[in-house]
Amino acid sequence: MKKNSSNKNNKSGESLGVRVKKDLKRNYSAYLLVLPVLVFYGVFAYKPMYGAIIAFKDFSPRLGILDSPWTDLYGLKHFLSFFQSYYFGRILKNTLVISFSTLIFSFPAPIILALLLNEVRNRRFKKAVQTISYLPHFISLVVVCSLITMFTSHNGMIVDFLSVFGFETNMDLLNNKKLFVPIYVISDIWQKIGWDSIIYIAALAGIDQEQYEAARIDGANKWKQMLHVTLPGIAGTIILLFILRIGQIMNVGHEKIILLYNDGILETADVISSFVYRRGILESNWSFSAAVGLFNSSINFLLVILANKISKKFSGTGLW
């Protein structure tokens, strides 16, 4: 019996190698398609992780990563410098306020647009709306921020529009610290609503139309069809994208912030990424910026795990 079992193990081991070779030979074109993706992530995602150790060093370009000296305080010097910074509380608060405001208002917007377009039967009108909503995505961020600055200036289009309803102002809206977050969020919706709706429109196209017919036979109107057929049909997509969005809570893009803010609204506009830009890039403190980046990535990683566990517990759907 032992001899037979050992022979079977040998055969299974040999057959596995043979199967792998046959699979590589049979599907070599598919593996060739995957290869550029693996190379891309290896070069631009995994290889740079090696440089994260400068967060624990006093990095000097002259000495390089390996020869740069380790910091004191068990390598936590730059982390403690960030946590003890006078601006830490303010920039953390601003980052969370902008991120959660964007999550609350910007995340549902493409879902609502996709649901509305799903009910449009005029194909020409539907395509026109989709095309118009996609356009802001392809406009350079510099141009977008220039348009926002022009529209919110004291003689801009938005100020003129508000004056029609009795809201008179002689100042630029971007100089009002209380208005920065609404301007940021509204402009973010304008930029992304069309492009982000594509994946939801694709998910809606995959819903079995017989479910709608069954719902209509049962007397369900359009609203009930949306609640009991449409939303459950795209719930998995919504949950997956929501989990991924949670993983970006700490990452408010510094490019748009820097292009829009000014000294008068730093109190509400300054976020972690813009603070790191000033300290890390402008002041050439690369180790400090690496430490803050590692801190942000760690928090985002933990948030993704937490959101995935909560999603798995209550809905049974998750990233893994």
Are 214 and 149 part of one and the same domain?
A: yes
**Global pTM value:** 0.82
At residue 57, the 3 state secondary structure works out as: strand
Residue 59 lies in a domain: no
Are 135 and 29 part of one and the same domain?
A: no
Residue 320 lies in a domain: no
Give the tens place of pLDDT for each residue, 241-278. Answer: 998 888 888 888 778 888 888 888 888 888 988 888 88
Per-residue model confidence (pLDDT) at position 155: 80
Are 13 and 76 part of one and the same domain?
A: no
Are 213 and 279 part of one and the same domain?
A: yes
Per-residue model confidence (pLDDT) at position 168: 66
Rounded CA separation 26/202 (Å): 31
Are 38 and 74 part of one and the same domain?
A: no
CA dihedral (256, 260, 263, 266) in degrees, to 10, reads -50
Per-residue model confidence (pLDDT) at position 9: 46
The single-letter code of the amino acid at 209 is Q
Q: Kindly report the average pLDDT of the chain as a whole number.
A: 85
Give the tens place of pLDDT for each residue, 110-142. Answer: 999 999 998 888 889 989 999 999 999 999 999
Residue 287 lies in a domain: yes
Are 96 and 198 part of one and the same domain?
A: yes
Alpha-carbon torsion (180, 182, 187, 192), positive or negative: positive
pLDDT of 148 strictly over 60: yes
What residues are paired with 70 via a beta bridge? 57
Residue 58 lies in a domain: no
The alpha carbon of 195 is separated from its chain's Cα centroid by a whole number of angstroms, namely 13
Residue 169 lies in a domain: yes
At residue 70, the 3 state secondary structure works out as: strand
Q: Which domain holds residue 124?
A: 64-314
Number of H helices, E strands in the chain: 17, 0
Give the tens place of pLDDT for each residue, 70-112. Answer: 888 778 888 898 898 888 899 999 999 999 999 999 999 999 9
What residues are paired with 57 via a beta bridge? 70
At residue 208, the 3 state secondary structure works out as: coil
Local confidence band at 279 (pLDDT 50, 70, 90 cut-offs):
confident
Residue 16 lies in a domain: yes
Per-residue model confidence (pLDDT) at position 21: 84
Rounded CA separation 318/320 (Å): 5
Rounded CA separation 256/299 (Å): 22
Span between the terminal Cα atoms of the chain, in Å: 41
Per-residue model confidence (pLDDT) at position 172: 81
Helix (H), strand (E) at residue 174: none
Are 138 and 40 part of one and the same domain?
A: no
Number of domains comprising the chain: 2
Q: How many CB atoms lie within 10 A of CB 99?
A: 18
Are 185 and 163 part of one and the same domain?
A: yes
Per-residue model confidence (pLDDT) at position 1: 47
Residue 212 lies in a domain: yes
Are 12 and 81 part of one and the same domain?
A: no
- Residue 295's CATH number: 1.10.3720.10
Are 232 and 255 part of one and the same domain?
A: yes
Are 47 and 68 part of one and the same domain?
A: no
Residue 130 lies in a domain: yes
CA dihedral (134, 135, 136, 139) in degrees, to 10, reads 130
Are 28 and 110 part of one and the same domain?
A: no
pLDDT of 8 strictly over 50: no
